[in-house]
Structure 1
Amino acid sequence: MPPVTNGMAATLLRGVRWTKSSHSNPNGNCVELAELAGGTTAVRNSRHPSGPVLLCVRAEMATFVRAVKDGKFGEVAG
């Protein structure tokens, strides 16, 4: 397994269902999410499905989603 320098390897998460937006393109530049037990959300890059994965608790995801909706990250390509 290649070294993981941020987060954890996705291969350590077994039996999770990864989802991405229906607006995603087929080029593999997508953010994928998986709901874990206890309200934790796993986040990964679809281009690198074996990792790394970032784990966010519910409050962190809510803050991130709110910031995206409020335009805090600039214009999002769509």
Structure 2
Amino acid sequence: MQKPRGWRTSSYTQPNGNCVEVGRLGDGAAVRDTKHRAGGYFTTTPGQWTTFITAIKTDRFR
């Protein structure tokens, strides 16, 4: 199994630590909680990641 690489947080992340990190995983992505990095991560396919990002950009979560 491939390991995620290049973990990063959003440029909008606040210093309170309530955020997630995203790592590149092939064409998809891996996501983990910055406060609980040892707790693991979940992965997405390229299509799932694209759908998620589109939903964020179009305010579907409001």
- TM-score, scaled relative to structure 2: 0.82
- RMSD in angstroms over aligned alpha carbons? 1.8
Higher strand content, 1 or 2:
2
Q: How does 1:1-78 map to 2 (within 5 A)?
A: 16-36=5-25, 38-74=26-62
Report percent identity of matched pairs: 36
1:24-58 residue CA offsets vs partner (Å, 9 max, x unmatched) = 1122111210002x312100111111123110011
Specify the code of the residue in structure 1 equivalent to 2:23.
Answer: A
Judged with a 3 Å threshold, the aligned counterparts in structure 2 of structure 1 residues 53 and 24 are, in CA distance, closer, same or farther, namely: same
Q: How many residues align?
A: 61
Runs of 4+ in 1 over 4 A off after TM superposition: none
Where does structure 1 lack aligned partners over 5 or more consecutive residues? Answer: 1-12
Structure 2 gap segments, 5+ residues each: none
